[in-house]
A = this chain, B = another copy of it.
Amino acid sequence: MRRALIVLSALLFSAVGAKAGVWETTCSGCHNGVVAPTKETLLSKFKTRREFMAAVREAVSKGKMPPGLKYGMAARELFGMAKRGGKQVSPTSSSQGKVTGDPYAKYKRFFEPLPALPPIPADNPLTPEKVQLGKMLYYDPRLSRSKIISCNTCHNLSLGGDDNVKTSLGDHWRTGGRNAPTTLNSGFLRVQFWDGRAPTLEAQAKGPIQAHVEMNSTPEIVVRRLKAIPEYVELFKKAFPGEKDPVTFENVAKAIAAFERTLNTPNSPFQRYLLGDSNALTKEQKEGMALFVKYGCIACHSGPVFSDGRFHKFKWNNDLGRYRVTKNPADKYKFRTPQLLNVAVTAPYFHDGSVNSLEEAVKIMAQKELGKKLTGEEAKKIADFLRSLTGEVPLEARLLPQLPGNNPE
């Protein structure tokens, strides 16, 4: 169905003939003479498309440019047409005038609708029993040493999957240095945590349960408490059939990860817009969408959750980011691109939660990452567009489980 819709919208797109240049809508965001060389510089440096593409491939392989963008199309725009007809294709020569109805529809092709589910790892298949168990564990504060803090305390499904404070408060009112990211749609992220220190949701789930400043528990405490509750033992057996001793910390993480892979938020106005409802966005939001593409925000905030899953430099405070994981000096101040779905309900922003206003966050990002000084109006339009990314948290996930009785300890 989804595929059919995409094909259909692609056909419609080519039928109306709308075509915005890839260079203008994607590359120019970074290639503005501040972050990366301008089009003119590149044209004077590279003589052929082949030369240009070789340089692109090298830059991508070294992580200097994001992978997966439409480089071939951009190269044809810069070199291909010139080679054949001697005439540079200008982005303004796109057939915008011919578009009937929604003049912003041409930007849709830079985005991807959110699939129903993220990739499911082969070693942790999704089953109803596992998701149900994972949901109970997600909401159960007895996983924490104090028996007061659950996953949902900091990743509150009433509040966009996070806690809306600068940095979360954990065991003994301790606080970590980074803002809690939302668990919503987190299954679509290529790596977990701001510094990407966990490759999977399974690995991620084990972190906060044990972190001194968060739940401050241990695998031993967790397993001992769960084994003391007969209902849980039974549920683990059902979720992990065939295992002799299924109540393990490993399986706790697997069940929570399975539940988290269901925390996807369809039906956002933007999702509805992408799938054909051209009235789902306001005019301001459509203008914001166009700016988001034109100014190059999309270079990093790409894909179904608006994150390339890569690490980019953002020197903001003393947090060394990815470097703390890899010890590679090139990774200093690098952070994984955060997703943008539900960003309107997950303030405050940045890895330290230091900015409360979405408009301000947009302005800072444009300035620091793209070398662009946005006007207040531009920032507001982009923020308005981002507000259209708020989707629906599944009812089933929001229905508080009835947890089994108290453990005796």
A interface residues (Cβ-Cβ under 8 A, vs B): 139-142, 146-148, 153, 156-159, 163-165, 168-169, 172-173, 344-345, 347-348, 356-357, 393, 395, 398-403, 405-406, 408
Contact = CB atoms under 8 A, between A and B. Distances in A.
Given A345-B405, A345-B406, A405-B345, A400 B165 contact: no
Contacts of A165: 146-148
Identical copies in the complex: 2
Contacts of A406: 164, 345, 347-348, 356
Contact of A403 (B159, B173, B356, B405): B159
- With a 10 A CB-CB cut-off, give which of A356, A357, A400, A401 has the most chain B CB atoms: A400
Contacts of A156: 141
Given A142-B164, A148-B169, A165-B147, A158 B395 contact: no
Nearest to A405: B345
A407 to B, nearest CB: 9
Nearest to A168: B148
Contacts of A163: 141, 147-148
Given A148-B168, A159-B403, A344-B405, 10 more contacts: A141-B156, A141-B163, A147-B164, A148-B153, A148-B169, A158-B400, A347-B406, A357-B408, A398-B402, A399-B400
A395 B168 CA distance: 29
Contacts of A173: 172-173
A148 B141 CA distance: 14
A236 to B, nearest CB: 18
A348 B345 CA distance: 36
A393 B402 CA distance: 8
A146 B169 contact: yes
Given A148-B153, A148-B163, A164-B147, A158 B139 contact: yes
